[in-house]
Amino acid sequence: MSVTTDTTPSAPARGMNALGALSEHLVRVLEKNGADISQLGVPPQPEPSDGLWEDVSVPQARARRNMWRNSIVDAAHDEYLAFRFDHLDDNQKPNTLRNWLDSLIEAKKLDARPGTLNMIVPGPIGSGKTAAACTLGNEAAERGLWTLFVKHATYLTWRRPDSAPHNMKAWEVRKKFVECDLLVLDELCGEMDMTATEFARRETVDLIDARISAGRPTVYTTNLRSRRQPGSPAMGVVDILGERLLSRLESSAHLVKVVGPDRRAPAKPLDW
């Protein structure tokens, strides 16, 4: 005969746990604001040992990790979930990414605007841009930042009525991608050319402008140059964003150019 033990806490015990978590949070807020909590007869709170910034409770952090994961799964990019800074090559600048993430966590703790708001990751096809940006997202989500991934073209599609997954309304799509702590906007202006619709331009400018105004950091990957190169038919990012917005974006940004060959190219070129 097997005996199973019901470990579900009783309703009163659950209530006490919730109260305990609430009072711990209140004590942290009081401490943060310089209050002398010894007057309250409460023992000093230990520093969180799990790398989370202090205002994030463990269930909230778990929920945020899931939101990041779901955004990667929605993009069918599950293969990038396992990447960590240690897996990146030097040309993907793991130290720059790591230092920037540290600065974002510091700013979040202080409820301040990050010193450098944006990360621009340009580079040729297949050089490892998305992997680098997703690595940053994986590490950020693990540290309690509400982080989301979306491909620029997908965002534009989802902003059309009744086009987003999970029964999301178009306004909910904008809200979550504007409000998340950190956004990875992959393939900026990827499938656009000079005939890009007014809708695409307006939506792109709106998203980026809203995030900059609110002081929310964003990572942009792109195959494009900032400006059209002489003699090249390829447009530049400026052709969609306009000079004013590109200048605002660049005025507070790290540039991580990922150089190198196309990692997807077969060792022996296919002859067909």
Ligand X SMILES: Nc1ncnc2c1ncn2[C@@H]1O[C@H](COP(=O)(O)OP(=O)(O)OP(=O)(O)O)[C@@H](O)[C@H]1O
Cα of first residue to Cα of last residue in the chain, in angstroms, is 66
Q: Which of 71, 92, 130, 204 binds Mg ion (CB under 5 A)?
A: 130
Query: Which among 65-73, 87-95, 165-173, 207-215 is the span making contact with ligand X, rule CB under 6 A?
Result: 87-95
Asked if 147 is part of the footprint of Mg ion (rule: CB under 5 A), the reply reads: no
The span from the CA of 220 to the CA of 96, in Å, is 15
Sheet strands side by side (includes 253-255):
147-151, 182-186, 218-222, 118-122, 253-255
Restricting to residues 94-123, name those near ligand X by CB under 6 A. 123
Cα→Cα distances 264→126, 131, 267, Å? 6, 12, 9
Longest dimension (CA), the chain: 80
Query: Which among 35-43, 56-64, 67-75, 88-96 is the span making contact with ligand X, rule CB under 6 A?
Result: 88-96
Token pair 């929310």 in the structure block, residue: 216
Asked if 264 is part of the footprint of ligand X (rule: CB under 6 A), the reply reads: yes
Restricting to residues 62-81, name those near ligand X by CB under 6 A. 79
Asked if 128 is part of the footprint of ligand X (rule: CB under 6 A), the reply reads: yes
Restricting to residues 176-195, name those near ligand X by CB under 6 A. 187
Nearest approach in angstroms of CB 96 to ligand X is 15
Question: Which entry of Mg ion, ligand X, none binds 109, CB below 5 to 8 A by partner kind?
Answer: none
Q: Which of 121, 89, 117, 142 is CA-nearest to residue 221?
A: 121
Question: Which entry of ligand X, Mg ion, none binds 131, CB below 5 to 8 A by partner kind?
Answer: ligand X
Q: Tokens at residue 67, please?
A: 């939101």
Which residues form the interface with ligand X (CB under 6 A)?
79, 87-89, 92, 123, 125-131, 187, 223, 263-264
